[in-house]
Copies of this chain bind each other. A is one copy, B any other.
Amino acid sequence: MNDHQDQPPGPLAGVTVLDLTTMLAGPYATLLLAGLGARVIKIENPDNPDPSRSNSLFLGRDGVKAAPEHDDDLSLAILDRGRNKEAITLNLKHPEARAIFLDLVRRADVVVENYSQGVTERLGIDHASCRAVNSALVYTSISGFGADADPRLGKAVDIVIQAMSGLMMTSGAEGEAPVRVGIPIGDQAAPLFATIGTLAAVLQARATGQGQHVDVSLLGTLGALVAAEPFGMAHKLGRATRTGEVLPRMAPSGVFPTADGHIAISAPKDVFAAGVFRAMGCPELIQDTRFGSLAARVRNHAALHEMVGAWTRSLDTAAVAALLADCGVPNGPVRDPVEALRHQDLLRRGDTVHLEHPRYGAVEEVVAGGMPIHMSDAFTGFDKPAVTLGASNGDVYGGLLGYGREELDRLRREGVI
């Protein structure tokens, strides 16, 4: 386990977050808050905890396995998303639970939830209920289609959001089948925006004393990112909206095969294009009327990209990269994710990290996302491993709320916590 006794506090020290979320989109938002130093209290139903706890794969005393075998085997999912969070149990369907939850709300700055529509109202823990006991509270909801969505839109999951946002029809080439992106970007965009909205609302609450409801959707956030490219206009002007591994409008730009892999090259400016031609050993091509300006290169992109590809195929990736670097051309090797995430370019900064088991420590072979935000005078990152279900009940119910041991025993006995 890391030991960071001397480190400065995180930038969100003093911010308390109640985390009602499950699965990926919600827990990733609260993970970011935790990695910036907020106190995040994850609240789980004792009989029906976050399904992330039972996602295959698992880590325990004897390494990684597909199915859990021991009490202290924990899923990689919870070991990742549970870092730097406390974990308490509370059965929100129990008649006593709402009062306890509102007790926590009185001491919190933020609630984050990703329940299905109508659930928080049914449980009496919706924004209105919470605001009634804490007017400075920021209450953030992450949903598939928005807090006000037509219920007929149904349940949103990553692959459905990738489909409906248009993302799947931006990769690949015209006429090809849709392309699913291999990371859950439909589940990742929303927590990033939710975290931004939450922090902006906390800033306003600190200034005015008034909190509010923050509402982001999976479809809206990924859609806003897809809209960064003017697909509609490209289409109207008769340009392809899907161009595969090359970018004709920035020629020469694209991903090209080498003798032992692939390399990405981006050289839309004349100075970079001239560098590509020098690296290829054909410096005169920048004088060629077909390739002397971006407009000319865009017109002749097919021929140009074929020439570049023929050259890259004749050399190893490292050789192509060295020649391009000498000529000042932006380029980079295509890495497999297994290799990429363990590369020193990422590990050295803590942008990726080795996951830790609370009892068995870090496992060299298990790499997860770190906190890719670095600060000169505050600690950011994950220095506490995830904990087991309810492990923080004593700290939170005893410490934060001041409940006595007998009361805690009774609540446990009666299935409230």
Contacts and interface: CB of A to CB of B under 8 A. Distances in A.
A178 B257 CA distance: 9
A255 B178 contact: yes
Nearest to A149: B345
Interface in A226-252: 226-237, 241-245, 247, 249
Given A170-B182, A236-B64, A341-B166, A159 B253 contact: yes
Contact of A166 (B64, B325, B337, B377): B337
Nearest to A366: B233
Contact of A155 (B155, B224, B330, B372): B330
A66 B237 contact: yes
Contacts of A339: 166
Nearest to A272: B155
Interface string A201-243: 1111011001011111101110111111111111111000111
A385 to B, nearest CB: 16
Contact of A170 (B196, B254, B337): B337
Contacts of A328: 154
Contact of A182 (B184, B220, B229): B229
A184 B217 contact: no
Interface stretch (A10-18, A90-98, A100-108): A10-18
A157 B266 contact: yes
Contacts of A346: 219-220, 223
Q: Which bucket holds chain A's interface residue count? A: 35 or more
A344 to B, nearest CB: 10
A145 B346 CA distance: 9
A164 B80 contact: no
A164 B332 contact: yes
Given A197-B373, A266-B157, A373-B193, A351 B168 contact: no
A340 B164 CA distance: 6
Nearest to A51: B269
* Max chain B Cβ within 10 angstroms of own Cβ: one of A145, A224, A325, A333: A224
Contact of A334 (B169, B334, B351): B169
A377 B334 contact: no
A255 B159 contact: yes
Contacts of A161: 332
Interface of A: 10-15, 24, 28, 32, 36-37, 56-57, 64, 66, 76, 80, 127, 145-148, 152-172, 177-185, 188-189, 192-197, 199-204, 206-207, 210, 212-217, 219-221, 223-237, 241-245, 247, 249, 253-255, 257, 262-266, 325, 328, 330-343, 345-346, 349, 351-352, 365-378, 380
24 contacts: A10-B200, A11-B201, A36-B196, A157-B330, A160-B332, A166-B335, A169-B336, A177-B255, A178-B262, A183-B229, A192-B196, A195-B196, A212-B376, A214-B374, A217-B351, A220-B349, A223-B351, A224-B370, A227-B367, A227-B368, A228-B369, A232-B342, A232-B366, A236-B365
